[in-house]
Amino acid sequence: MLMHNFLYSLEPYIFKLLLIHFILSVIIAFFSTFYLKSRFINNEKTHLKDKKILEELAEGSFIYKLLFKISQHKHNTRNLFLFFFTFTFSLPFIGYFSSLWVIWYLKHVKYQKTLYNTNILNIDEFGISFLKVERVFGEGSMKDVLKNQYVPKSKKLKALSTLANNISPANLRIIKQTLSSSDDEIRLYGYAIINKAELRLNSKINKYLSVIEEEKKKKRPNKETVAFASKELAFLYWEMIYTELSHESLKESFINKVEQYLKTASNFYLTRCALMKKELLSIKKDKDLPFNQKEHLLKELEDVKDICIKLYTLNGRLFMSKKDYKSAEIEFLKALELGDEKAINTIPYLCEILFMKKDYAKVKELMQEAKNLELNATLYPILKQWEAVS
């Protein structure tokens, strides 16, 4: 009864109490964000790692990609604020003390820095030297595992499954060798992997071909839709060539397709990039224009530039496949002129041409600029070797 009367007496002040509780929750959330900011990593290196993981999740589900985007390192500050605000606001009175204790704990907790000897590779050694690796029993060769008649079928199937997770030219060459296997199950599994990879690319190609066909039927085709579909088709046909999924007799035809769609996409996006640059210059001079409009155009320009960099790079790789290294170098240089960190994947191709020209000083200079490529396990040893060049 007393409690009921007490709660009833508070009824006129409910709104004020909620407002005070809301303000206190915001203050605690703001304080925690500022106080714990240094505890959570948010730098260029983590952004690159997030971007790389996001690219690898391109084929993943929408929900999984959305959750990863929300949890990216660049959102640490926002997520920290939202967590403490929600936590404090959902637990009136108790939340204040709980939040302050969590803040204090996160700021002062220390983790053991010493590593236990688990008899695995010492990763620290890779920073100063390369470990000597030897294959005594041939255990590291997928090719030998699949060809050796004494290797159990279960291990061969496991090896094929591992190769199927990363469809690359080298892996496909190994998988294709299983097509002549005497074991029906191994042979059929190898064929299924190759067939699945071909179907995946063909379904995407047919999808974008139908988009272009639909636009051509219209009285006024949407140029941006056609350009986007052409861009995707150029990369898909190139993937057919690069992964060696296309038959040798079709290679010339696919190269012509890449050139055709690459030209259509380049005409649209390069022109659009030039126009947007001019528009941005005139907008910057207009002081009365809203800041949001400038930011929107700048973001759109960056997206178009990113596409142009990829188109220049693909065109350069196309020239390299024809052994026209001079034209390829020009395309790669155009890509580097358009963007700094976004064009970083172009550097290895340009270095390959400069290496053939024996311009080693320039190769070393470019390799030093491409520090972020250390995240790529394939290129890491090459970068380390060029660092050691005097």
The pLDDT tens digits of the residues spanning 149-202 come to: 777 777 778 777 777 777 776 777 777 777 777 777 877 888 788 788 788 888
Query: For residues 294 and 241, what is the distance between their CA atoms, to the nearest angstrom?
Result: 41
pLDDT attached to residue 98: 84
Residue with tokens 């790692």: 49
pLDDT at 126 over 70: no
- Per-residue pLDDT, averaged over 222-241, amounts to 85
Q: Both 268 and 344 in a single domain?
A: yes
Q: Report residue 340's pLDDT band, with 50, 70 and 90 as the boundaries.
A: low
pLDDT at 317 over 70: yes
pLDDT attached to residue 139: 46
pLDDT at 120 over 60: no
Query: For residues 179 and 186, what is the distance between their CA atoms, to the nearest angstrom?
Result: 8
Question: Do the domain assignments include residue 81?
Answer: yes
Q: Both 46 and 71 in a single domain?
A: yes
Instruction: Tell me which of 217, 232, 260 is where a domain ends.
Output: 217
pLDDT attached to residue 124: 55
- Per-residue pLDDT, averaged over 256-267, amounts to 86
Query: For residues 232 and 227, what is the distance between their CA atoms, to the nearest angstrom?
Result: 9
Q: Both 69 and 24 in a single domain?
A: yes
- Per-residue pLDDT, averaged over 237-258, amounts to 77
pLDDT at 12 over 50: yes
pLDDT at 374 over 70: no
Q: Both 27 and 44 in a single domain?
A: yes
Query: For residues 150 and 137, what is the distance between their CA atoms, to the nearest angstrom?
Result: 13
Q: HSE (CB half, 13 Å, CA atoms) of 282?
A: 6
Q: Both 233 and 364 in a single domain?
A: yes
CB neighbourhood size of 265 (10 A): 25
Q: Both 307 and 367 in a single domain?
A: yes
Query: For residues 213 and 198, what is the distance between their CA atoms, to the nearest angstrom?
Result: 22
Q: Both 168 and 238 in a single domain?
A: no
Query: For residues 224 and 235, what is the distance between their CA atoms, to the nearest angstrom?
Result: 17
Q: Report residue 122's pLDDT band, with 50, 70 and 90 as the boundaries.
A: low
Q: What is the CATH number of the domain that holds 305?
A: 1.25.40.10
Q: Both 58 and 201 in a single domain?
A: no
Instruction: Tell me which of 217, 251, 285 is where a domain ends.
Output: 217
Contacts of 386 (CB under 8 A, 6+ apart): 363, 364, 367, 368
Query: For residues 266 and 274, what is the distance between their CA atoms, to the nearest angstrom?
Result: 12
Pair 68, 57: CB distance under 8 Å: yes
pLDDT at 338 over 70: yes
Domains contained in the chain, number: 3
Contacts of 286 (CB under 8 A, 6+ apart): none
Residue 280 burial by Cβ neighbours in a 10 Å radius (0-12, 13-18, 19+): middle
Question: Do the domain assignments include residue 88?
Answer: yes
Q: Both 390 and 326 in a single domain?
A: yes
Q: Which two structure tokens, joined as six digits, stand for 272?
A: 């659009």
Q: Both 376 and 270 in a single domain?
A: yes
Q: Both 237 and 370 in a single domain?
A: yes
- Per-residue pLDDT, averaged over 354-380, amounts to 71
The lowest-confidence range among 120-129, 164-173, 218-227, 380-389 is 120-129
Question: Do the domain assignments include residue 333?
Answer: yes
Question: Do the domain assignments include residue 240?
Answer: yes
Question: Do the domain assignments include residue 318?
Answer: yes
Question: Do the domain assignments include residue 121?
Answer: no
- Per-residue pLDDT, averaged over 68-90, amounts to 81
- Per-residue pLDDT, averaged over 85-91, amounts to 83
pLDDT at 54 over 70: yes
Contacts of 52 (CB under 8 A, 6+ apart): 375
pLDDT attached to residue 85: 84
Structural domain that includes position 61? 13-108
Question: Do the domain assignments include residue 125?
Answer: no
Q: Both 269 and 333 in a single domain?
A: yes
Q: Which two structure tokens, joined as six digits, stand for 231?
A: 């861009």
pLDDT attached to residue 381: 66
Question: Do the domain assignments include residue 119?
Answer: no
- Per-residue pLDDT, averaged over 28-41, amounts to 79
pLDDT at 370 over 70: no
pTM score, whole prediction: 0.56
